[in-house]
Amino acid sequence: MRLHYAWYRRRVALLDAVIVTYNSSAYVRACVEPLCNDEKINVVVVDNHSTDDTVETVSQLDVRLIRQDENRGFAVGCNTGWRAGTSKFVVFLNPDCRADPADLRSLVGLLDAHPTWGAVGPRLVDESGAIEHSQHRFLSPAVSFARAMLLHRLLPRSPWTLDVTDPLAYDTPGQPDWLGGACIALRRETLEELNGFDERFFMYCEDMDLCKRIRQAGAAVHYTPEITIQHAGGASAPKARMIPTFAYSRIRYARKHGGVVGGLLERLAVAIESSIRVVVTRSGSEARRAHARAVAVALSGDAGGG
């Protein structure tokens, strides 16, 4: 695989902002351009073989642009990005985020001030200012079977939902199990020790897995409401065609961290949930077919090795 590098002005920077793109031309410039003017930030854009104008949109900006010849997934893109930099801190940022450079500097400043923290994430809001549920619980049989029976819709604040939805949790600092990868800051040394993201996850669960391994290494994962970053609603939302990929990643995560039994239980939970959704979904025929494919993923032997 060849990597193509655009010229940019290398700085001795505080942090590397890594932005992985795929057909992101509609919003990536608004994400990247404000960061390019800050002397403390090196911007690394990794394009996962977009077929739109994403590359042209950012190619004239002061970024390190890495063009991949194929789309090998989000985890590979993130690893390519942080390994291309040299700064002490790395912030992974979705291309549909809008961040003030000062906020990114403050975010890594919290890491610098707290040596026991392995990762930290900000409050995320959508374009209307509504809180995005960026704090999450680890997958477990209780979480997965509650989800399978759609109980997370009926009891969204219960302790067996994947997302932390209590508004109070977003007003105070905390230590959730894991943070979504739309905006998360880590030390470079942490990424080096853990070998970055697990590239067997094409998309989904790679952030949960990374936070799990950070915790297993004895470090903390922190949420801070002191810093707020906008994350455009819907731009990174899962598409119907990605439903089987989400199922695959869930099973792989459960097998990796829960062994053979954990993987089998997750397969069963995915099969039940997707079978129910085939019947009850209101998202149209494409979603119905995608849930049917997720059932096939759960019943096959493809997803899962540790």
Q: Comparing C-alpha atoms, which of 306, 244, 245 is closest to residue 278?
A: 244
- The encoded tokens of residue 58 equal 């950012």
Confidence at residue 235, expressed as pLDDT on a 0 to 100 scale: 55
The residues pairing with 266 across neighbouring beta strands, listed in sequence order, are: none
Strand pairing category for 135-136 and 178-179:
antiparallel
Contact in structure between 111 and 187 (CB atoms under 8 Å)? yes
The predicted pLDDT at position 128 comes to: 92
- Domain 3-137+176-231 fold is Spore Coat Polysaccharide Biosynthesis Protein SpsA; Chain A (3.90.550)
The answer to whether residues 92 and 2 touch, using CB atoms and an 8 Å cutoff, is no
Residue 271 Cα to chain centre, angstroms: 24
Residues 197 and 184: their CA atoms lie apart, in Å, by 13
**What is the per-residue pLDDT for 36?**
95
Count CA within 13 A, CB hemisphere, residue 264: 3
> How confident is the model at residue 5, as a pLDDT?
46
Tokens of 196: 């970055």
How buried is 181 (Cβ within 10 angstroms: 0-12 exposed, 13-18 middle, 19+ buried)? buried
The reported pTM is 0.92
The one-character DSSP state at 70 is S
Q: Which of 74, 101, 88 is nearest to 19 (CA)?
A: 74
Name 163's bridge partners. 136
- Residue 128: count other Cβ atoms within 10 Å of its Cβ: 7
The residue type of 19 is I
Farthest-apart Cα atoms in the chain, separation? 55
Contact 187, 85 (CB under 8 A): no
Block means of pLDDT (10 residues each) for the chain, length 306 residues?
Answer: 48 91 95 95 97 95 96 97 97 97 98 97 96 96 93 83 95 97 97 98 97 98 98 67 95 97 97 95 91 95 60
Cα–Cα distance for residue pair 111/9, rounded to 1 Å = 26
* Domain spans in the chain, listed from the N-terminal domain onward: 3-137+176-231, 240-299
State which amino acid sits at residue 62: D
Q: How is residue 302 annotated by DSSP?
A: S
